[in-house]
Amino acid sequence: MSLLKIRNLAVSYNGIPALKKVSFEINKGEVVSVLGPNGAGKTTLLRAISGLVKCEKESEILYKGKNIVGLQAYKIARMGIAHVPEGRQVFPDLSVQENLEVASVLTSLNRRSGKIQKVYELFQELNSRKNQPAGTLSGGEQQMLAIGRALVSDSELIMVDEPSMGLAPVIISRIFKTLRQIVQEQNLTLLLVEQNAKLSLPLSDRIYVLSQGRIVLSGTVDEVKDSDLIRQMYFARE
Amino acid sequence: METKDILQNLVSGIAIGSTYGLIGLGVVFLWQSIERINFANISSAMLSAYLFYTFYSEIGMGFFISFVLSVGIVALYGLGLRYLIHEPITKRGGGRLEFVVATLMICVLWLNVIIVFYGGLPKPFPPVFGKATDFVRFAGVSLPVVYFYIFLVVAILMAFLHFLLRKTLVGKSLRATAQNKEVAQLMGVNVNLTTSLAFMLSTTVVGIAGILLAPIYFVSLELGGGSIGIKGFSAAVMAGLIDPYGAVVGGILLGIIENFSTLFISSTYRDVISFLILVAVLIFKPKGIFVWSLHRD
Amino acid sequence: MILQAKNLTKVFGGVIANKEINLNVEEGTVTALIGPNGSGKTTFINQVSGVLKPTSGQILFKDKDITSLEAHDISRIGIARTFQKIRLFEKLTVIENVLVARRKFFKCGFLDIVFHTKRLKNEEKEQLDIALNLLQRLGLADEAWKMPGELPYGKRRALEIARALALEPKLLLLDEPAAGMTRNEFASIIDIIQKLKEQGITMLLVEHTMAFIRETSDKVYVLNFGEVIAEGTFEEMEHDPAVVAAYLGEESV
Amino acid sequence: MRVVNWKKILLIIALALVVVYPFLDKNDYRLYLANRALIHSILASGLVFLTGFAGQISLGQAGFYAIGAYTSAYITTRLGMPIILGIVCGILLSLGAGLILSIPSFKLKAFFLSLVTIAFGQIVYVLILNLQSITGGPYGFFGIPPMKVGQYYFDNKGYYYTFLIILVLVILIIYRIKNSYLGRSMFAINDDVIAAEVCGINSKQSKIFAFALSASLAGLAGSLYAHLAGFLSPEPFTFFESSNFVAMAVVGGLRNILGGTIGGVILTFLPEFLRFRGWENYYLIVTSLTVVLVVVFMPNGLGNIIFKLFRGKTHSHAIHKEITTLRKEKEGGTK
Amino acid sequence: KVALCAPFTGLGSILGDYIKKGAKLAVEEINSTGGVLGEQIELTVYDTAANPSTAMNVVRRALFSDKVVAVFGPNMSSAVLGVHQLAQQAKTPMLVGATSPSFRFTKVHNPFLFRLRADDDVKVSQLVKYAVDVLGIKKPGVIYGSTDYCLAALDVAKREFGARGIEIVDAEQIKEGEKDATGQLLKLKNAGFDGLIGLTHEPEAAVVVKQLRQLEIDVPIIGFSAWGVPAFTDLAGDAAIGVYSVQGFNPNDSELAVRSFVAHYKSKWGEEPSDPAQAYYDGIYLLAKAIEIANSTDGEKLAEVLSNQLEMYGVQGMLKCDEHHNFTSICYISQFDGESWTIIDKLH
Ligand SMILES: Nc1ncnc2c1ncn2[C@@H]1O[C@H](COP(=O)(O)OP(=O)(O)OP(=O)(O)O)[C@@H](O)[C@H]1O
Ligand SMILES: Nc1ncnc2c1ncn2[C@@H]1O[C@H](COP(=O)(O)OP(=O)(O)OP(=O)(O)O)[C@@H](O)[C@H]1O
Ligand SMILES: [Mg+2]
Ligand SMILES: [Mg+2]
């Protein structure tokens, strides 16, 4: 059964449509990538799922069979959907440790510190900055923290908006390795928005390509890998 | 001048300063949880004092019931501020300044409402915290009994708020909400609840303060604005609006500065002196005296 | 040498973000600054642009000491920058965002404003034209009257670059200009950078995308823990074991 | 050819009414109030500039108002100098105070700054109370000469036109500043200081300028008030008066060029009109309630509503008239 | 049609209530017995917010817009000074309860301005006299407030002590709203004062006496008129026992007129009157009488009658306009015994 099923999702800003009747689904345990040029509506898609933007009437977002359209964002988060927003939005005046603690609200008490410890192991850069206000971290450190926050929650579906943005190559490969690992180990589901197709494709089971608010291409990685569209968009110079 | 007198002056300064700190606690708490300065919060002190006066002295209810009732009503007042003022302003795109003006005017509104119902005359506060002539004397220094209740409550509230904000998940969620409401929601924080909590707790704190301060400030309009408001605000700001401890220390510092400028410089210019010191502190330590860490962009 | 940093050091509390950095930028070239996260690249740019004051050391621009100048003075003598975390004027329209940076080209004074002279009107019109042209060059002409908040990430980046260019800088500091772009989008940024280079604008850029660095840079500096650990051409750096270990990782991208 | 534009006609009628008002209403009390409203409008316009355009807060504007008032009073009454000199000195002195007060604004964020301004207001107030030899202290300052031209001593009518002209000039100047590169720079600083600095804008200079301008306008308003009233006492210069001024700016609309005027007029007349029989206690409740309601339900101020009525839609603030026309040309060209 | 301008908000809101109640009582009594010249008195109440600038607005309104026959108030001396010329301009009598000597007729020469209470010059002189002659104070210390009311009193006190060759050892200010006077009192103590002269408003008076008790400073305390009212003793509680005050009115006076006024007032408002209530009560009667004598409501005629012809027996005894345009100069020296003020002396 599909974990997340979206039908006719439409979103518009001030009357200008950003998503036009998008439909797709994600099965449990899958890694799905969403690709698309700037302004395609990728971020909007994630924001609509987590309840941060209003959808048009006919939209349907079924999570575990339950329609979550119109629910408040925190309720959606509590159902097990984690969202790493675009542009590393940390709580600037909270320390690194406190940022992670707030994110562990939904985790059962006895596992919180263990999960936080895991994040520090994954991102040693953060370990030495536990008590630094997150607003003073470097760009990449903030991005690590933002991803780390999603990892400490007990969510089943993790949506990540451009995780590689601003990270050093070593870290990026580390992150993608980790993502692959935890998806397998903990039977998580991952919805990935990532411009770096070279990184995200090997990780993904299926791919959707968005353009101007519509899904223009979809399929398993092998099906779409050689399509002109993908080549042109992501591997043009190689 | 005898050392005994100087000691007495110091103790009195600490005492009056702790009343500023008590109001400052509410200011810091609200700032930490929604990043707003709420002048209407100052009215909570006056409202709870008048309510307590009505329940206890006029209707004749017991101390405990009167206390709980008045503080409870003031807590609801906090909720009202949220839904009737904060939310509509935010929804219509108003910012902090609009909120400040609205709450300032609410402050004025309450003053006038009290005048209509109770008149402008200050009312004597019932001697629940000792009579006007009850003093504790020690080492040549004396203090009205009520201050010991105040010290106790200041200590408790300060520790409680500090613990809440810094050590509990609820407090951290409150602060997270203040800094980024949207992302806090993504973490599963019930922003709705935390915001209500922030408003209610801050009015409750100031409401409790009101009842305790009434023996000193009388059940009067002065509890609802003017100098105590500005001084409570100063106490909080001196401490950078960061920490409950800071608010209390800031308040006490202010009290001491005031009393010593009276004693050694001039009673006429004491406000000028204490405000100049305040401004100097702010210029040299723009984020408050207890804040050292540098923030960047 | 258009820019020289001499023993530049910046300390935050206990953290040494920049440690005695010596760095030179040759006029007319594109120099890249790379390094792991938190190695002090943004801190370096912040100091050159005057946003942060160095703890010690010196910054020379065209052989003049600019260490103690304020940010607005530095931007006026020809150093412009973009921010890693985009900072646009969200309450101004796109075109106004660019016009703000044209401030230094206005010659009219306060009295011109009060009396609303012809001269001022002409100047405003002139600057508006220049701004519109700039937007056109960066593919933002259709968005000129929108608010920045309505733009997707990529266009916000482009707008930030347009705003920096509006200062007509000699030296342009770019902090991760290609972050969050698809490949063919950053191809267009590479184009822009090459065009600017042809126009004689010197650039210092911070990027984590190696393909981007490879295509654009003449020289690369590598930072680690606030120190320069290597410098040279991209090819040299790509194979420098220290750089690979600290930054690129084994399976380099 | 064109349909008659009734909005324009209405506007012209309204303007005409403003101009001939003193001849229509013989009531000395209302005319006096109108004069006070004009003074408040001048001051509140300065606040609109400071807060709405430059993003700085002042809860101590009554301090500048007082400095202007007492300076002019002292110079004209005690030193016997001409009134115009008194007013100029009043403006200069409050400008000086504004310059000093702008220094903390370099470092302090909004609410820390607002406390400094409150402190400034309090300090001025205490000084008025205690510098009795200069200000008369709580007894008040008496015998301030009225304005005159030649042998004509101003009555309320004379004041009305003088103040009206001053107000119009003030608004015109603020309007032009707002729509110039200066105004744009201010909005930019307001949005993001560091980004603005990097764009070559001297944020300190802008803040100094904003404080100086609003302080001078408050000083000007104060010295006009001194001559209109003929006597001064400390009470009109308290913190609550300062917050009343801010309320005027907000009620009128902080981002609206006429915000100060609209707020100034409304908040001067409203409490007076509410002095119905038997309402001596209630009128202030109603006034403050009105302000609360306006702020809560129209945080952009009444000015915006009025503008909307006349324009159909509001302008996004810093869009210049020329820019708009140019834009239309450009759009027309591409189509 | 009569205007009453008094402070109901702001600092002076303590007084506004008394003033209104006193005046209203008189108006109702007169109206119920047929009014004046067959017409009912219509009392319009205006709030001056204890702010001369607002007072200016409301007096203008009363005079030029509502065109009243006479104005009662404002009750603040600086406000009176600011607005009395308007009354002259409108040729309308203005009867005020403010007590500062600064606007005596001999000083401002406004034939339309009258005062309903003994002015502070009289009261404070009596206070000083009592302090020196009876209490034997040799080194007076003064604590005073920051309003014109307090400062005017301070000036008189300085003059009167000076005239007796006594030097005030120290004068300290406590601003309205301050709640800690430790510094001030310690300074007075260090100056070696042997008696406290209190020239502050009611709440500060309460603060001062409480802290005197706290600091165990044992000196006679004598305060001016703001100290001789229930508003002070209620707040100060036991700390006020033994305090002397000079009062303009004392409800315990055994005079018949006082007793009947107090009884009426109590039955109407359920509380004891204080001196502003009495002053404006008498004031309304004065005006009514003047209108009857003048047989008109013309301002000039009324002012003429008020200043020259009128003699009336009011609550305070015989009321007649003196050369300062004051109607009375009666005052009492009283001492608080924990329940009420016992009259020690009644002075004319
Ligand atoms: N707050 C907003 N107001 C108005 N329009 C918006 C807003 N946010 C996004 N849009 C518009 O919606 C469209 C989709 O934007 P979205 O941010 O979802 O794109 P994206 O695919 O995430 O792009 P990028 O890769 O640059 O992040 C864009 O055309 C954008 O201009
Ligand atoms: N105000 C501050 N207080 C404390 N530490 C700071 C402060 N500002 C920066 N730092 C630290 O200095 C280091 C250098 O930061 P900087 O932003 O220069 O890194 P960067 O090289 O730009 O990294 P990235 O590639 O992730 O953007 C970081 O470890 C950061 O945590
Ligand atoms: Mg996006
Ligand atoms: Mg960086």
* C43 Cα nearest atom in ligand 2: 18
Q: Examine the pLDDT at C194 and tell me if it is beyond 80.
A: yes
Rounded CA-CA distance D287/D266 in Å is 10
Cβ contact C103–D185 (<8 Å): yes
Which chains does B contact via 3+ CB–CB distances below 8 A?
A, C, D, E
Ligand 1 neighbour A39 (Cβ under 6 A): yes
Cβ contact C85–B293 (<8 Å): no
If you measure from the C-alpha of residue C16 to the centroid of ligand 2, how many angstroms do you get, rounded to a whole number?
9
Sequential DSSP letters for B53-99: IIIIIII---HHHHHHHHHHHHHHHHHHIIIIIIHHHHHTT--HHHH
- Candidates A13, A196, A216: which one to mutate for ligand 1, based on the most atoms within 8 Å of Cβ? A13
- In this complex, is the C-beta atom of C239 within 8 Å of any C-beta atom belonging to chain B? no
If you measure from the C-alpha of residue A55 to the centroid of ligand 3, how many angstroms do you get, rounded to a whole number?
17
Rounded CA-CA distance A120/D321 in Å is 55
Give tens-digit pLDDT for B155-164: 999 999 999 9
Give tens-digit pLDDT for C162-188: 999 999 999 999 998 888 777 777 788
**Which pair of tokens denotes residue C11?**
């300390």
- Residue of minimum CA distance from atom 28 in ligand 1: A39
* Secondary structure of residue A105 in the 3-state scheme: coil
Min distance D76 CA to chain B CA atoms (Å) = 28
If you measure from the C-alpha of residue A213 to the centroid of ligand 3, how many angstroms do you get, rounded to a whole number?
12
**CATH code for the domain defined by D7-334:** 1.10.3470
Are the CB atoms for C100 and D184 separated by under 8 Å?
yes
Percent of chain E with pLDDT strictly greater than 90? 9
Q: Could you tell me if residue B295 is inside a domain?
A: no
Whether the ipTM is more than 0.90: the answer is no
Going by C-alpha positions, the residue among B287, B286, B231 that lies closest to residue B259 is B231
If you measure from the C-alpha of residue D195 to the centroid of ligand 4, how many angstroms do you get, rounded to a whole number?
16
Q: Tell me the average pLDDT across A70-77.
A: 90
Rounded CA-CA distance B61/B67 in Å is 10
Q: Which of D180, D319, D322 faces C113 most closely, judged by CB atoms?
A: D180
- In this complex, is the C-beta atom of B130 within 8 Å of any C-beta atom belonging to chain E? no
Going by C-alpha positions, the residue among B32, B282, B80 that lies closest to residue B177 is B32
Q: Tell me the average pLDDT across A155-161.
A: 90
Rounded CA-CA distance A87/A84 in Å is 9
If you measure from the C-alpha of residue C152 to the centroid of ligand 2, how many angstroms do you get, rounded to a whole number?
26
- Residue A175 is predicted with a pLDDT of 83
Residues of chain B contacting A, Cβ within 8 Å:
169, 172-173, 175-176, 179-180, 182-192, 293-297
- Chain B residues in contact with E7 by the CB 8 A cut-off are 120
- Residue D310 is predicted with a pLDDT of 65
- In this complex, is the C-beta atom of B4 within 8 Å of any C-beta atom belonging to chain E? no
- Chain E residues in contact with D280 by the CB 8 A cut-off are 8, 16, 20, 45-47
Considering chain B, what is the average pLDDT of its residues?
86
Rounded CA-CA distance D105/D147 in Å is 36
Ligand 1 neighbour A18 (Cβ under 6 A): yes
Structurally, how many domains does chain B consist of? 1
Going by C-alpha positions, the residue among D75, D107, D65, D5 that lies closest to residue D264 is D65
If you measure from the C-alpha of residue A60 to the centroid of ligand 1, how many angstroms do you get, rounded to a whole number?
21
- Residue A233 is predicted with a pLDDT of 66
Which chains does C contact via 3+ CB–CB distances below 8 A?
A, B, D
* Secondary structure of residue A10 in the 3-state scheme: strand
If you measure from the C-alpha of residue C180 to the centroid of ligand 3, how many angstroms do you get, rounded to a whole number?
8
Q: Examine the pLDDT at B131 and tell me if it is beyond 80.
A: no
B:6-65 residues touching chain E, CB 8 A cutoff: 8-9, 12-13, 15-16, 19
- Residue D314 is predicted with a pLDDT of 40
Q: Examine the pLDDT at B83 and tell me if it is beyond 90.
A: yes
Residue ranges of chain D with per-residue pLDDT less than 70: 1-4, 276-280, 310-335
- Residue D326 is predicted with a pLDDT of 53
Question: Of the ligands numbered here, which is closest to the C-alpha atom of C38?
Answer: 2
Q: Which of B175, B294, B295 faces A94 most closely, judged by CB atoms?
A: B175
Give tens-digit pLDDT for E264-321: 888 888 888 888 888 888 888 888 888 888 888 887 888 888 877 777 787 777 777 7
- Residue of minimum CA distance from atom 8 in ligand 2: A136
Are the CB atoms for B165 and B21 separated by under 8 Å?
no
Ligand 1 neighbour A43 (Cβ under 6 A): yes
Q: Examine the pLDDT at B225 and tell me if it is beyond 70.
A: yes
Rounded CA-CA distance D102/D98 in Å is 6
Percent of chain E with pLDDT strictly greater than 70? 99
- Candidates A88, A93, A95, A138: which one to mutate for ligand 2, based on the most atoms within 8 Å of Cβ? A138
Nearest CA in chain E to D275: E46
- Residue of minimum CA distance from atom 6 in ligand 2: A136
Nearest CA in chain D to C48: D198
Min distance E11 CA to chain B CA atoms (Å) = 9
Min distance B104 CA to chain A CA atoms (Å) = 28
Q: Which of D104, D288, D289 faces B279 most closely, judged by CB atoms?
A: D104
Distances (CA, A) of D117 to B232, D41, D103: 16, 20, 11
The number of angstroms, rounded, from the C-alpha of B64 to the middle of its chain's C-alpha atoms is: 22
Q: Examine the pLDDT at B75 and tell me if it is beyond 90.
A: yes
- Residue C54 is predicted with a pLDDT of 93
> Is the peptide bond prior to E74 cis by the omega test (within 30 degrees of 0)?
yes
Residue B163 has a CB neighbour count (10 Å cut-off) of 12
- In this complex, is the C-beta atom of A143 within 8 Å of any C-beta atom belonging to chain B? no
Q: Examine the pLDDT at C22 and tell me if it is beyond 50.
A: yes
Rounded CA-CA distance A226/A230 in Å is 7
Q: Could you tell me if residue B110 is inside a domain?
A: yes
Rounded CA-CA distance D190/D188 in Å is 5
Residues in chain C: 253
Are the CB atoms for D174 and D252 separated by under 8 Å?
no
Q: Which domains are delineated in chain C?
A: 1-9+17-78+171-253 (3.40.50.300), 91-168 (no CATH)
* Secondary structure of residue C124 in the 3-state scheme: helix
Question: Of the ligands numbered here, which is closest to the C-alpha atom of A17?
Answer: 1
State the pLDDT confidence band at A171, using cuts at 50, 70 and 90.
Answer: confident
**Which pair of tokens denotes residue E65?**
């817009």
| Phi, psi for E86 (deg, rounded to 5) | -60, -40
Q: Could you tell me if residue B145 is inside a domain?
A: yes
**Which pair of tokens denotes residue B9?**
């002056």
Rounded CA-CA distance C30/E304 in Å is 97
Q: What is the CATH number of the domain that holds B204?
A: 1.10.3470
The number of angstroms, rounded, from the C-alpha of D9 to the middle of its chain's C-alpha atoms is: 28
Nearest CA in chain B to A139: B297
Rounded CA-CA distance B282/B237 in Å is 8
- Residue D80 is predicted with a pLDDT of 85
Considering chain A, what is the average pLDDT of its residues?
86
If you measure from the C-alpha of residue C149 to the centroid of ligand 1, how many angstroms do you get, rounded to a whole number?
9
| Phi, psi for D279 (deg, rounded to 5) | -105, 15
* Secondary structure of residue E306 in the 3-state scheme: helix
Give tens-digit pLDDT for B49-71: 999 999 998 888 889 999 999 99
Structural domain of B185: 3-284
User: Would residue A224 be called left, alpha or beta, if left means φ above 0 and alpha means ψ between -120 and 50 degrees?
Assistant: alpha
- Residue D213 is predicted with a pLDDT of 94
| Phi, psi for C116 (deg, rounded to 5) | 50, 55
- Candidates A141, A165, A170: which one to mutate for ligand 2, based on the most atoms within 8 Å of Cβ? A141
- Residue D1 is predicted with a pLDDT of 45
Residues 6+ apart with CB under 8 A from D174: D45, D48, D49, D213, D257
Going by C-alpha positions, the residue among B40, B87, B39 that lies closest to residue B196 is B87
**Preferred mutation among E14, E48, E51, E179 to probe B, highest tally of B CBs within 10 A:** E179
* C44 Cα nearest atom in ligand 2: 18
- Residue A238 is predicted with a pLDDT of 40
Q: Could you tell me if residue B32 is inside a domain?
A: yes
